[in-house]
Each structure stands twice: as structure tokens, then as C-alpha cells.
Structure 1
């Protein structure tokens, strides 16, 4: 089988989204329904999440490979230049998120602030989580979904990718969702322009580590 395909169909994309993000979207929706009272950032909570991501990624990549998809094209290629670009991209995304959130800031604490306040997660878990989660999200949101659906229209591909990203971050609250949307938009636009996945992955890794530092 010639594994050169990097495009996807809406049906295939839907199945991969359900597999890779369905459980997380459901959990995030349940958190919203419960008044943002569920969930926490701790070793006992994050390690099972990482195990779920590894399992879902393994299944998704195997399924795509067996369907003739160029799975190797989804693997980020680390380079010193990519690290430097990732740092810059993180800075730009941080500023964009701040600009997006500022018009809506209130004195009321946000769910994401309360989650961070009661976080009890060790540094090794933070780093492990950032490395796996950053790669997982950007591989499937940018490398697979955004790139794969571009043949159906760039606006559609971008919109679906951003929608999925926001849906499984709803547990962070309204301002958290706005921040995630701005962050995802910056990474998406960079990926559309450059086609380079690793800088986006590295920027996401930093976004997962820095707030805990």
C-alpha cells in the first residue's frame, strides 16, 4: 500500500475526532454542567489522562496507517530552529490570548484560575504531560484535521479544528475558552503558512508548562 495520502474525508475526520477527543469533550461538557466543580490538576488526575491520550493516539495512527494514510508525515521533527520558532510562537499566542480576553475580564474568579489555585501536580508529571499532550493535540488538530480537510475549504478546515479545540477546553470557563481560541488560531495560522508542525507542538508544550512554574 502506498502511504502518501495526507487528505481526509469528513467521515474519516469525524471518526478520528470522536476517537481522539470525544471522551475529553464529554468530560469537559460534564464539568460545565456541574458548574465547573469537577476535575483538578494533580498527578492522580493527569496520569490517567496521559494514558488515555497514548492509547487513543496509538489506535488512531494504526487505523490511519491501515487506510493508507501517510502517518509518518504527522510526526513532528525537532530542530534547534523549530525550538526557537516555538518559543516565539508561544510568545505571540500568549499576547493574542491576552488581547482576546481583556475586553471580557471581570473581578469574578474564573474556573481555570480556581483549578490552578488548587493544583497539586509534580514537576515530572507537568513535563511529561506537556510533552505528550502538546504533541497529541497538535498532531491531530493541525497535522491531521486542519491539513486533511483543506481540500474542502480552508475556512471549513480551520473552523472545525478550532471548534474541536475549544469544545474540550470548556471546563476552563468562558474566558478560558476565549483564550484557547486565540491560542489555537495563532498556531493554526502559523501552520497554514509554514506547514511546519514542530514549532506549534513546542509552543503548546511551553503553554502547558509555564503556567505551573
Structure 2
């Protein structure tokens, strides 16, 4: 299918792009401060898991660990961690806004209310189409012994825990979609990469920083990246991806706290 012609929210003003060498440096700097660094550590962690004497299926990872035994210090550190995690997003937006460009226009974060309602609809569709197969993939890969047990919350049972989990899900959606799709994929296209080449590279990056969970989940995230990248290039709107990602993570983070444990065991996800 030809995806060379995106559907932008508004006709952007002419943009003078930086040189290819500068754009390449920008991508490396943003990734080095954020998800590129995470991808390298995730790859090393996967190697470490397979070298461990315990099988990978008996290992676990906690996505939202407690940061202090003192409750109010834990809360402060959680909020600070979420805030500082979004600094690379601010850098990416700043770089996309150089030379008279508008990052909001380039990422499709403009338009009338009907466009935003359309984003909501697409976000819900994406979340459903990715979430259910993702849950099945996790259960199957756990049964095959190739994925670690994922504990989505290590927070104490406090009044603020659910709020932090929802904010953490939102921060993950903003960070990953703005950096991987909004910045990296856009810059790759600015450097002359074809749409599908840019989509594949961005999807492989998405899979790489999920390697710590096991290779099946990394492949699942590559598939998610291909779908998200295709939707972004076709529609020229980033908001549906952020909404879908937040929905997926919010359900994953909050779900185990409210769904009966027996149900999770029956689904094979614990």
C-alpha cells in the first residue's frame, strides 16, 4: 500500500531544515538521553537474563517500583521521576521548532474539534487492536518460558498510588510516541528516508527498549511500532498514538490492582 502521502492537519508553512549531519546528531543526542540509552541497557539485561542460572520464566521485572520506604518521600520521587522523564520530549519539540517551524503543526497537534474527536476514535481503535493481541502474546510467551513475569506496580497501598500509575502511563505514552514517532520518524523522513524505512527503523527501536521483558515481547512491540508508524504517516496526527499508548499502559498498570487474581491466573498473565 502506498503511504507516501500523509494527511496533515493543516498546510504547514515552508520549513528550512537543518543539515543532514545536524539532524543525525540531534537524533543521537535525544536518543542518548532517553530511549536509545534504555534500549542499550535492555539488550544487556536480556543477555544477563539468559546467562542467569534461573530460567527466564521464573524471573520478573517491576515497572513502577517504590522509590523510598518513607511514603511522602516515595510520592515526591515518583512525581519527580515522571517529570524528568519528559525532559527529552521538551528537547525534541524544541529541535523540531527550529527555523520558523512549528512542532505542533508538524506533529498534527492542531485542527478543529472534529479532528481531535477523530483522534480519540482512532486512539480507542488502536488500543483495542493492540491490547488484546498483546495480552495473548504475553500469555503465550510466558507459557513458552521466554518472557519474564511483569509486575506492573511495586507501589505501596497508598491513596496516591493509582494516580501515580495513571500519570506514569501518560508519561510513557508521551515519551515514547513523541520521541520514537514524533521526533525520530519525522527526522528520518527529513533526512530523505522513505516512509516505510523510517517506520521500520522506529519500530525496531521500540522493540529494542522492551528487550528486558524477553524477545517475544520485543517482537510484539515491533509489530505495534509498525502499526503506529503506518497510522501516523497516513494521518499525520500524533495524538491517537499517545492516547492509545496511555490507554494500554493505564489498563496494564491499574488492571492487576482491580481484576481478581483468579481471573489473571486463568488468563495466564501472572
TM-score clears 0.5: yes
**Distance in structure 2 (CA, Å) of the matches to 1:181 and 1:129:** 22
Q: 2:179 aligns with which of 140, 163, 184?
A: 140
In the alignment, is residue 157 of structure 1 matched against residue 189 of structure 2? no
CA drift of 1:98 comes to 6.0
**Distance in structure 2 (CA, Å) of the matches to 1:144 and 1:27:** 21
Q: Say if 1:4 and 1:38 are closer, same or farther in 2 by CA, change over 3 A.
A: farther
Tell me, yes or no, if the aligned pair for 1:110 and 1:173 is still in contact at 8 Å: yes
Q: Say if 1:197 and 1:5 are closer, same or farther in 2 by CA, change over 3 A.
A: farther
In the alignment, is residue 83 of structure 1 matched against residue 82 of structure 2? no
In the alignment, is residue 15 of structure 1 matched against residue 47 of structure 2? no
Tell me, yes or no, if the aligned pair for 1:97 and 1:178 is still in contact at 8 Å: no
Q: Secondary structure at 1:110's aligned position in 2?
A: coil
Q: 1:128 aligns with which of 167, 173, 178?
A: 167
CA drift of 1:57 comes to 2.3
CA drift of 1:48 comes to 5.7
Q: Secondary structure at 1:171's aligned position in 2?
A: helix
Structure with higher helix content: 1
Q: Tell me the equivalent position of 2:43.
A: 29
TM-score (norm 2): 0.64
Q: Tell me the equivalent position of 1:58.
A: 90
Q: 2:251 aligns with which of 188, 210, 213?
A: 210
CA drift of 1:132 comes to 1.7
Tell me, yes or no, if the aligned pair for 2:138 and 2:147 is still in contact at 8 Å: no
**Distance in structure 1 (CA, Å) of the matches to 2:17 and 2:32:** 19
CA drift of 1:93 comes to 1.8
Structure 1, unaligned stretches of length 5 or more?
A: none
CA drift of 1:127 comes to 0.8
Q: Tell me the equivalent position of 1:71.
A: 103
Tell me, yes or no, if the aligned pair for 1:135 and 1:201 is still in contact at 8 Å: yes
CA drift of 1:128 comes to 0.5
CA drift of 1:159 comes to 1.8
**Distance in structure 2 (CA, Å) of the matches to 1:96 and 1:170:** 18
Q: Say if 1:103 and 1:153 are closer, same or farther in 2 by CA, change over 3 A.
A: farther
Q: Secondary structure at 1:164's aligned position in 2?
A: helix
CA drift of 1:61 comes to 3.2
Tell me, yes or no, if the aligned pair for 1:6 and 1:70 is still in contact at 8 Å: no
Tell me, yes or no, if the aligned pair for 2:61 and 2:213 is still in contact at 8 Å: no
CA drift of 1:70 comes to 3.0
Tell me, yes or no, if the aligned pair for 1:165 and 1:181 is still in contact at 8 Å: yes
